[in-house]
Amino acid sequence: MARRDPVSFLGVEYRALVEAELDWKLRVLEGPSSPRCRVDGSDVIMLCSNNYLSLSNHPRLKQAAIDAVKTHGAGSGSVRPIAGNMDLHLELEERLAVFKGAEASLVYQTGFAANAGLIPQLTDSGDLIVSDELNHGSIIDGVRLSKADRAVYRHSDAAHLEEVLDAAERHTPPYRRILVITDGVFSMDGDIAPLDKVATTARDHGAMVYVDDAHGEGVLGDGGRGIVSHFGLTREEVQVEMGTFSKAFGVVGGHVSGSRDLVDFALNRSRTWLLSGSHPPSVAASCIAAIDVLETEPEHVRNLWSNTEYFRKAVQGMGFDTGSSVTPIVPIMIGDSGDAKKFSRRLFELGVFALPIVFPMVARDRARIRTIMNAALSQSDLDEALAAIERVGKEIDLV
């Protein structure tokens, strides 16, 4: 009998993705992430980076990384529970907790690792997780790793959340623990979760609240402190605030903030934290420097919102639909996936880098160009990008 090739399915399934135009074609950034950068050999205006405050190329962050390499080396040498727990990691967590107004913070290797590692440890058999229907894939994977029952409430619909929690209270046997999870800012649409209403509803049902604020940090709240600050909520109302250093902070890494008990529990139970190498000294030092910048240079957050308001108003004035966005994530709704991809390719030819978001990341008829504002974009940058957007919109007969 002929021996079957056990990996032949890989090529077959990949080619099916290509034929359906659902594969990722990676572009190459040739230099720093900045408002004007070089991608695939072309000079373009960057409109799709999560580097909201342009901190990834900030001189204070770069110098902090260089200094840390000189004093602490290139790597930590281990996972933190063994021999990779450096003073820089502890300093970062102490500074982050103060910045967030929390008792304690814990730094994970990535935001994905925080969600995948902590969510399944907070819940078990006999518990219930209630999740917003548009939550990020890392939350979905974290929920799937849990043995808890699962329920979904309609996107940002606190009234439906209450219905789900009312039903949960009638469950037999009673649930031991209920965890409500929501994104803070939803990355595809740029809308903000009604966290105040979610927190009130959860409190009334004795449920715990977990918010993924990856796109809210450095953007929302007092000085960019995030969605909990934005709504003026307390740590008694939102028990777990998860975030990332890879967006507005300009570096990389995930984290959670909350009570001291939360952090002690998480560092003892999250396998993604326990079994992954700790951040290189340069990364930890750059993250500390990013907090320094946010605390001492408030102009970056102001510029981000000024650019956002200018850009969104101009795009809407052309006749484009920007959906439910109220943040620096400004989707240009296209509808058809083919048109969205054509739109993106044409923009790149005109010197604007903005990617299409198509099925299965969004519904088949909800394809879009997801633009993301940056604090360092000048008005001339924005005007040049807007002119290209209007030109392509007319070429494809969308406006």
Of 54, 56, 138, 187, which is the active-site residue?
187
Quote the DSSP letter at residue 313. H
The yes-or-no answer on residue 394 being catalytic is no
Please enumerate in sequence order all residues whose Cβ is within 8 A of that of 81, keeping only pairs 6 or more positions apart, or say none.
Answer: 267, 274
Q: Tell me which amino acid residue 50 is.
A: N
Quote the DSSP letter at residue 79. B
Of 89, 247, 279, 341, which is the active-site residue?
247
The yes-or-no answer on residue 187 being catalytic is yes
User: CB burial class (10 A; 0-12, 13-18, 19+) of residue 15?
Assistant: exposed
With vertex at residue 329, the alpha carbon angle to CA 60 and CA 28, rounded to the nearest 5 degrees, is: 65
The yes-or-no answer on residue 215 being catalytic is yes
* Angstrom distance (rounded) from CA 140 to CA 133: 10
Of 58, 89, 100, 215, which is the active-site residue?
215
Give the helix ranges, DSSP H, for the chain. 8-19, 59-72, 87-100, 111-122, 137-144, 158-169, 195-204, 227-230, 260-269, 271-274, 281-296, 299-317, 337-349, 379-395
Cα dist. 103→90, 100, 181 in Å?
A: 14, 9, 21
Catalytic residues: 187, 215, 247
